[in-house]
Homo-oligomer: A and B are copies of this chain.
Amino acid sequence: MTAKLRDVAEHAGVSVRTVSNVVNGFAHVAPATRQRVQASIDALGYRPNLAARTLRRGRTGLLALVVPEVDSPYFADLAARTVRAAQARGLTVLVEQTDGDADREKRLLHGDRAHLVDGVLFSPWATTPADLAARTDTTPLVLLGEHDGTPGVDHVAIDNVAAAREATAHLLAAGRTRVAAVGVQPHSRNATARQRLTGYRAALTAAGLPTDPALEVPVHRLHRADGHQAMHTLLDSPDPPDAVFCFTDELALGALRAAGERGVPVPTALALVGFDDIEDGRYSTPALTTVSPDKDRIADLALDHLAHQASTPGPPRSTTAPHRLLVRETT
């Protein structure tokens, strides 16, 4: 058993309470006492028992960040930034991975980690507005990423519709006429994909072009392999596109690889835009044009929301983080 407050108190010849005061840096402790207690702490290698402290204080200093997958570059990046932002506020982040599993999401949403974390940053994949409405757990919650019809839940996201519209418009402005969209998720509740599709269509419509179902390619997940396969499918079609808007950079990188395999030169014969601004896209050949969400801002805003919920009860708030189009070599 490791040393506890009482052991330190006995060793230093003071009360338990005084040791606690020293540990917590309270003001009114005589310098001599403080020094003596500190010496005992060091001698015994005392470490506060965080479980006991939490039980007493009612707060843990822990946040959960719930994402579909930690190894997807976008979420890895977001996680890293969130961890850093939280560190700056003296908080620790518990990264939780759902693998897009609806049950696991539901369990986490409904308080599987209740009392273990002070707040939850939730990046939903399969969660529906109904799931959210049915939530009874009182742990502060902030939704990351788009989710339509959010009922009474705090929420931070970029404007996906606008971003997708800009990306598509960028392709159209370069004179492309057959612009495909890769990343449609027909059987998924995922709202992000739906919103990006909306923006894509809006851009086409604004340019006076028809939407063509053959150019809206569904995928299972949003990974490189899916983009790779989707691009091969598109290139196999009788009337292949001259530009592709991919809903994630990973899809785009898979598509880029597929174009290379088929000898289709990018960006001349085929222009490509991704979404997320992951680092791989900066070093691919050619480098990927992409929509860059301000991830630092997203992380920071999300933490703001949590802090605000903890201190000030009030109606749920929604915040939009900025994004911008980074034009690189694929367009």
A residues touching B (Cβ–Cβ < 8 Å)?
2, 45, 47-52, 54-55, 60, 62, 69-73, 76-77, 79-81, 83-84, 87, 92-97, 99, 111, 113-116, 136-138, 223-224, 228, 253-254, 256-257, 260, 279-280, 282-285, 287
Contacts and interface: CB of A to CB of B under 8 A. Distances in A.
B115 A95 contact: no
Contacts of A223: 279
8 contacts: A48-B114, A50-B114, A51-B60, A51-B116, A52-B115, A80-B97, A87-B97, A253-B280
A71 B254 CA distance: 20
Contact of A114 (B47, B55, B137, B285): B47
B279 A115 contact: no
Contact of A83 (B97, B114, B116): B97
B55 A52 contact: yes
Sort A-B residue pairs by CB-CB distance and give the 10 closest, nearest first.
A71-B80, A47-B114, A76-B76, A51-B54, A260-B285, A95-B95, A50-B116, A70-B80, A51-B55, A257-B283
A306 B62 CA distance: 23
A111 B50 CA distance: 11
B76 A70 contact: yes
Contact of A76 (B73, B138, B256): B73
Contacts of A283: 224, 228, 253-254, 256-257
Contact of A285 (B48, B99, B137, B257): B257
A328 to B, nearest CB: 12
A125 to B, nearest CB: 15
Nearest to A115: B49
A81 B97 CA distance: 10
A60 B54 CA distance: 13
A131 to B, nearest CB: 15
Contacts of A97: 80, 83-84, 87
Nearest to A47: B114
Nearest to A227: B283
A8 to B, nearest CB: 14
B45 A49 contact: no
A111 B47 contact: yes
Nearest to A4: B115
Contacts of A69: 80
A138 B2 contact: yes
B60 A71 contact: no
A95 B83 contact: yes
A114 B2 contact: yes
Contacts of A48: 114-115
> In this complex, which of A54, A77, A95 has the most chain B Cβ atoms within 10 angstroms of its Cβ?
A95
A73 B79 CA distance: 12
Nearest to A281: B280
A202 B55 CA distance: 56
